[in-house]
Amino acid sequence: MIRSKDDVAQELVRVHFSVEPALSRIYRIRSEREDEPGEPIKLLEVNANTVATGSIDTFTFAPTKEVPVPTVIAEVTPEEHKQLEEGKLRLPGGWSLQGAETFERPAA
């Protein structure tokens, strides 16, 4: 069965929350080209167990058997997330939190 891009994104969010207890929030960024083939799933994840770098770096992963859509993932610490909300950090080009789908950590 071929999964839709939305289904793959939901599954990624679920898996990431399940493997990382310090992950508190995930934004799924949507672009104007979201429905075009090849447009990746874009996630911004707030993770206390990551390393701060003082910027929002993206890592791109090619499609795999398990995740058949390209993914671009950026990760921030809670402190960097606060800086982002205060306008002290910039999102990658073409990314915006406006219109992003927000997933909070499910209650245990």
Nearer residue to another protein within complex by CB, 30 or 74: 74
52 binds another protein (CB under 8 A): yes
Report yes or no: 52 and 77 within 8 Å, Cβ to Cβ: yes
Tell me the three state secondary structure of residue 48.
coil
| Residues in CB range of 93: below 8 A, 6 or more apart | none
91 binds another protein (CB under 8 A): no
DSSP structure class, residue 81: H
> Per CB under 8 A, which of residues 13..42 are in contact with another protein?
15-16, 19-20, 22-23
96 binds another protein (CB under 8 A): no
Can you tell me which residue has the tokens 């167990």? Answer: 49
**Interacting residues toward another protein by CB under 8 A:** 15-16, 19-20, 22-23, 45, 47-53, 57, 59-64, 66-67, 70-71, 73, 75
